[in-house]
Structure 1
Amino acid sequence: ISNLESAMQMLIKTFHKYSGKEGDKYTLSRGELKELLLEELGSYLGVRCDNEAVEKVMNDLDANNDGEVDFTEFIILMGALTVACNDFFLEKTKRGERV
């Protein structure tokens, strides 16, 4: 299995690790999203994940306004965060800093 295939499997497994603890097993509630952000992305986000931050992320992601984040909406978040991380590392590299 390739690294990219492994990464795709990990995204799917991670989503389903948190989805369904509250309500629909195929979506993330606000509480599930907050837990996922804290547990899985805490070091990348680097900030305290408070209710206001979760609300902002939830509102930005919840394209269909159902109050939950489905897998497609979750992948949009992961894509945006990956682009932001790539941009951050490119800037550091351009400035000659070690990554």
Structure 2
Amino acid sequence: MVSELERAMESLIKVFHTYSGKEGDKYKLSKAEMKSLLQGELGCFLSASKDPNVVDQIMRDLDDNKDGEVDFQEFVVLVASLTVACNEFFVEQLKKQ
């Protein structure tokens, strides 16, 4: 039987590969692929920013090896960072109650 955490890991992998490889390297996200992923999967986070350069900034922040693309390991950093921020927000909300 597959655990909830294993399903979550599988989902992350599937989401990444749904968007990667439409251009260039099929195991990395180009800027256009990253933008498509952000719009399709994290639209609320993206629309909250009024900065038109938000995708460029995210790419710069994630592209650790500076190859102009985001690989799976770099992508997981984004997911982990957003998850930590969401957890901190929910913990603060619970403390206020």
- TM-score bucket of the superposed structures, by smaller chain: over 0.9
| Root mean square deviation, CA, Å | 1.5
Aligned to 2:88: 87
* Pairing 1:11-30 to 2, within 5 Å after superposition: 11-30=12-31
Q: TM-score, normalised by structure 2?
A: 0.92
* Aligned amino acid, residue 23 of structure 1: G
1:67-86 aligned at under 5 Å gives the runs 67-86=68-87
Runs of 4+ residues deviating >2 angstroms = 43-46, 48-51
Task: Give aligned pairs, total.
Answer: 96
Partner Cα separation in structure 2 for residue 49 and residue 21 of structure 1: 27
* Inter-partner Cα distance in structure 2 for 1:50 and 1:31: 17
SS in 2 for 1:24: coil
Gaps of 5+ in 1: none
Q: Which residue of 2 aligns with 1:59?
A: 60
Q: Cα offset for 1:42?
A: 1.2
Report Cα offsets for 1:3-37 as digits up to 9, x if no partner: 00000000000000000011110000001001101
TM-score w.r.t. length of structure 1: 0.90
Contact kept? 1:19, 1:29, Cα under 8 Å: yes
